[in-house]
Amino acid sequence: MITNIIMDRYARRRLEKNLAAKRSGANPGASTSSSNAAPAATKINDASLHFRSTGTQLKTREIANLIGAGNPQVLTIMSTILSEYEKGARAAGKPNDLALALSFFFATNASVYHDAGIPADALVMDLRDTIASALVEGNALNGVTDRKKQEMYEALVLYTGFALAAYQEGKQGGNAESVKVSQQLAGQNLQAVTGISPDKINFTDQGLSIEREAEAADNSVAAPSRSVNATAENSSAGAIDYMELIREYDSNEVAADANYKGKRIRVSGPLRKATIEEGKVLVWFMQTGYSLDLGCYFENSQKASVAQLKDPQTFVVECTMLGVISPGRLMMDHCVLR
């Protein structure tokens, strides 16, 4: 998973910093940071991080409908967000660059969530280079189609840009409620992509800092290869991370059906919303940059349990996998909270 690779990169940098600090007798600190001392970077071949655009916006209408179904103003706002971002990316010499979109995502959402203002362009670009190195080193995007890259890119930019727009509006108008909403949106964005509490993700003039369990990171370079949803997984042995399940279906539906369709499985991930659809309780996991959304149907007898869930709480369900039942909808049935 792309976020795993980025997180592991920071964990390795932290380990290297700790080892160097122990040799010098300095205090290594307890978090990983994108500004940690490291050898000068060599130029990398980051062609895999770019995509050839289709020439049209792929996710704007879909995401606008999720935010404000039938509201043309929301669609206009989302289209403008993406267009303005792309103007800035072209001006910076980084058009159609997934690493820059990820940097914008982490830097902006962390800054908004912690009410730290708008991140400086130079710091965002530094973070972009670190992320690019991690993705290239991990071959994270090898074999991913241009269309899939564009969809991930647009989702990152649109969700982040929407939180940023609400934050800027609140700050400029002195509207504390708008600022609060923007912080909630930013926190949900970070939780959905990383599986880590947004309280543990910061972006300052020292760079990106992600707090992880120090002991595991100190033990060995290989230790951080665990899932970023470690907390949820530790409390629900055998549960599949929802983003991994979506990724499998997104990349090869035939193979994923062979593994999961018709079977009872446990899945963990953060809540986006709970609704009623055709008389049944329907719970959606947080959206990702993939083309599929994961939902689970509950019997009405489970209403009381579902009513206790609050976004972006991480929860575990045991369900029967239905598979992709319509475009964009990966569904599970007969679900029970665990």
> What is the C-alpha end-to-end distance of the chain, expressed in Å?
25
**Chain segment 244-255, per-residue pLDDT in tens:** 899 889 888 999
Query: Of the segments 37-46, 58-67, 163-172, which one has the largest average pLDDT value?
Result: 163-172
Mode of pairing for the β-strands spanning 293-298 and 329-337: parallel
pLDDT value, residue 260 = 93
Domains within the chain, CATH numbers bracketed: 2-225 (no CATH), 230-337 (2.40.50.140)
Is residue 317 a contact partner of residue 267, using CB atoms and an 8 Å limit?
yes
Separation in Å, CA 244 to CA 76, 113, 290: 32, 26, 11
**Chain segment 204-227, per-residue pLDDT in tens:** 988 888 876 443 334 333 333 333
pLDDT value, residue 25 = 60
pTM, two decimal places: 0.62
**Chain segment 256-305, per-residue pLDDT in tens:** 999 999 999 999 888 888 999 888 899 999 887 677 899 999 988 888 88
pLDDT value, residue 220 = 32
